[in-house]
Amino acid sequence: MAQTTLIDRYLTLTREVMPQMARAGTHRWPVRDDHCFQRIVLDAISGGVWYDHIARPAYKHLTPEQAARAVALCEAIIEGEADLDALNR
């Protein structure tokens, strides 16, 4: 998948899909807002506080590998394969 496509997918998942799922109550997630999902995912893929590793705005500075990892993590969270509560801590 091309980097811009990956970034678009990451933004769609964190701005629309995950917040909608949280508000619908289909998952017992600790967050509901898009920026919270983005923070959790970016922290996880960068191995620390994301803004210590990725320039702002993050979506414009993700490498192709980071974008792919972000999408994969979002999808794993949605499928229940990654624990959002643990990632949030």
pLDDT of residue 2: 83
Residue spans per domain, the chain? 3-88
Place of tokens 């959790």: 40
Q: What is the pLDDT along the chain (89 residues), one digit of tens a residue?
A: 787 899 999 999 999 999 999 999 888 999 999 999 999 999 999 999 999 999 999 999 999 999 999 999 999 999 999 999 999 99
